[in-house]
Amino acid sequence: MNTDSTTEQRWLLLIHQLPSKPAYFRVKIWRRLQGIGAVAVKSTVYALPANAETQEDFEWLLKEIVEGGGEAMVCEARLIDGLSDAQARALFDAARDEDYEAIVKDARGLEEKLEAASSADEMAEIRPHLVRLRKRLAEIVAIDFFDATARLSAEGLIAALEARLAEDAKMNNDQQKTTPQTAADLKGRTWVTRQGVYVDRIACAWLIHRFIDPDAIIRFVPGKGYVPNAGELRFDMFEGEITHEGDRCSFEVLLTRADLTDPALQAIAEIVHDIDLKDGKFGREEATGIASLLSGITAANPDDEQRITQGRPVFDNLYQYFRAKRG
């Protein structure tokens, strides 16, 4: 559920009190809350973004609590003080990032097994595990109300595994038709990405305008349900033409597609990777400072165009720094 920053956020709060016994009932309710994606804003107060589906989830849970001997009420609220909408959304993102990171860990385990597989039978044994992992991912996506950052990493790893196990040649051919194959294919296009841009998308926008196509148009659309128009290239989006691949962030993939081999850009790609994927792969000492700068820019600028404009000098200066350092 992508929430426009200009729209007032409404929340549903479940305020409840459970009986001390039986203990299993408390565990049962806690699991129910986790399953619908609710987060605790106080010890006995759980929140969900307000919509018809989340209201129904809370109403069923309220009924279950009351039938189990507890007390509960559901109310719709607007946050005024003490906890901001941004802080509340951050609680949801942190919870989902933890879920996605567990998926990533399991996907990397399957990746290692796939690398070690030496026969068709061994590869076939991996498939049901991957199917279950995809199902788990879908369940998490269903309660990822604000497009948590780690989702792309999980999606990218699972998609990469599925591609390696794919047996349908036509699917591969279709993908080749829609994916840009040369740097020339990237020019004269309209670029599309998710609203609420942060490090990877800000960096990609800078790279597009600075090194690929200065006249490129970049549009910002909802993260879910968007159907691309002819000639559009989606970046850092699910099912996008240029997005996470395996453990590479979108900026790294875009560098490869654009055939950009400048060492200064490679250094920037490592910083973007470490901030975006949070895996410390490159251990770039600059990552912490750049992450703080970009966090400040996004906090001060709710508009995506403003974020990209303000982020441009950050990457311009980084690029000049690495160019001079190399010289």
Query: What gap in Å lies between CA 288 and CA 296, rounded to an integer?
Result: 12
Identify the band that residue 181 occupies on the pLDDT scale cut at 50, 70 and 90. Answer: low
Cβ contact 200:156 at 8 Å: no
Spatial contact of 112 and 122, defined as CB atoms under 8 Å apart = no
pLDDT in tens, 112-164: 988 887 666 677 788 889 989 999 999 999 999 999 999 999 999 999 888 88
Tell me where in the chain the CATH 3.30.70.240 domain(s) lie: 11-81
CA distance 300 to 293: 11
Sheet holding 11-17, edge to edge: 39-42, 45-49, 11-17, 71-77
Cα(291)–Cα(276) distance, integer angstroms = 9
Task: Name which CATH class applies to 11-81.
Answer: alpha beta
Chain centre distance of CA 204: 15
Quote the tokens at residue 60. 């069923």
Which pLDDT score, from 0 to 100, does residue 178 have? 53
In terms of C-beta distances under 8 Å and separation of at least 24 residues, what long-range contacts does 266-273 make, across chains too?
267/318, 267/322, 268/203, 268/315, 268/318, 268/319, 268/322, 271/318, 272/199, 272/200, 272/203, 273/248, 273/249
- Enter the pTM of the model: 0.57
Strand partners, 248: 245
Of 180 and 197, more confident: 197
**Span 19-66, pLDDT tens digits:** 988 989 999 999 999 999 999 999 899 999 999 999 999 999 999 999
